[in-house]
Amino acid sequence: KLTSLTTLRLYDNELTGLLPTELGNLALLTLDMYKNSFIGPVPTELGNLTSLAKLRLYDNKLTGLLPIELGNLVLLTTLEIDKNNLNGPVPPELGLLTMLKSLDMLSNSFTGPLPSELMKLVSLTKLRLNDNHLTGPLPTELGNLASIQVLDLSDNQINGTLPTELGNLSLLESFKIHNNSLTGLLPMELGDLSSLTLFNVHTNAGLCGFNPVTATSPDSDNDNELDVQGTKIGYQCTGCMEDNI
């Protein structure tokens, strides 16, 4: 019953079985159950934890769809569910979590397009959805993530072009979108990203064009890193090159 409990941390143990649905009866602010061996779905009852600020379930063996009820957690600032076996689409309801600052969903089996509703998360500083099965083009609303510093969408099947609106992300420091199926030219607006220190677009065979980023090649001693291997991008030319660098 523990009606006064606000913090529950059971991380980095050898706990197994299902996450108990009764967790939804608590008045938690922090729930840390990461680095265990929990199986089965994320309980829909977690959506009852409307005071919850931090939910960390990463590095378990959770399966199934991510419940849309998590959209009820409007005070949530941290959601880390990476390194599980979750599948299905990314719930658009996550776009209701307007206080969210960190969203880690990497290394699962999420499918479908990146929902444009996520682009309403203007407080978000970190978004990592790499190593999933996301498809479709990037939403132009990606340029609305005014606070984003770390954006990792690598190792998916994202196609289409890079939106010019990415040039609006003035605080972006790390952008990884390698190992996808992007095509077209790099938008010149990327040259406006004065905070960018890591830009990784390698292995997008259809992506080409002039490199607009103030960075150097990966072999340089410069602190900035540019990785474009397997992508047809030239350092001193516009348009596509015949040979990859």
Residue 109 tokens read as: 């089996």
What backbone torsions phi and psi does residue 23 show, to the nearest 5 degrees?
-55, -30
pLDDT digits (tens, 9 = 90+) for 158-169: 999 999 999 999
* Model pTM score: 0.88
Alpha-carbon Rg of the chain, whole angstroms? 19
pLDDT digits (tens, 9 = 90+) for 66-112: 999 999 999 999 999 999 999 999 999 999 999 999 999 999 999 99
Helix (H) or strand (E) run with residue 86 in it: strand 85-89
Average pLDDT over residues 211-229: 48
Q: How far apart are CA 204 and CA 240, in angstroms?
A: 13
Residue carrying structure tokens 């990859």: 244
